[in-house]
């Protein structure tokens, strides 16, 4: 079964309100098996536009990711933001299919790599 993800881009306008939200959202994430893969961190815009903060949260399944978003616990945490951030958020299903290079025969080693 494919995992589910939240991909979030955030511009924080009220740091105190955002901290209040961040302090409250962990219970919902834990309940639905969410774990942070990206939480802030350095980044470089190489194409398109960006917001100041980026977050990726992994869930055991797409259904869990959607259930977390729709849960009373998360919506209550989100309400604590009080408009303190502008956010783009998608809930997306992960990919479990073949990856580039999978199933190709092994390449002979060259003397330089030994």
| Tens-digit pLDDT string for the chain (114 aa) | 899 999 999 999 999 999 999 999 999 999 999 999 999 999 999 999 999 999 999 999 999 999 999 999 999 999 999 889 999 999 999 998 898 988 777 777 766 655
Would residue 20 count as lying in a domain? yes
Q: Report how many domains make up the chain.
A: 1
Helix (H, G, I), strand (E, B) or coil at 13: coil
> Domain containing 88: what range?
4-42+50-95
Would residue 57 count as lying in a domain? yes
C-alpha span between 95 and 4 (Å, rounded): 9
CATH code at 60?
Answer: 3.30.70.100
Residue 20 main-chain phi, psi, to 5 deg: -60, -45
Query: Token pair of 55, please?
Result: 């977050």
Would residue 103 count as lying in a domain? no
Cα atoms in the Cβ-side hemisphere of radius 13 Å centred on 46? 3
pTM: 0.85
């Amino acid at each position: 079964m494919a995992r589910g993800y939240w991909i979030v881009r955030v511009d924080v306008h009220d740091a105190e309100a955002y901290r209040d939200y961040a302090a409250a959202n962990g219970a919902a994430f834990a309940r639905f098996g969410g774990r942070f893969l990206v939480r802030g961190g350095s980044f470089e815009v190489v194409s398109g536009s960006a917001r100041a903060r980026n977050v990726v949260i992994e869930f055991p399944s797409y259904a869990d990711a959607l259930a977390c978003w729709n849960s009373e616990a998360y919506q209550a945490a989100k309400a604590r933001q009080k408009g303190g951030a502008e956010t783009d958020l998608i809930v997306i299903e992960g990919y479990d299919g073949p990856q580039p290079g999978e199933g190709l025969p092994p390449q002979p080693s060259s003397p330089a790599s030994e």
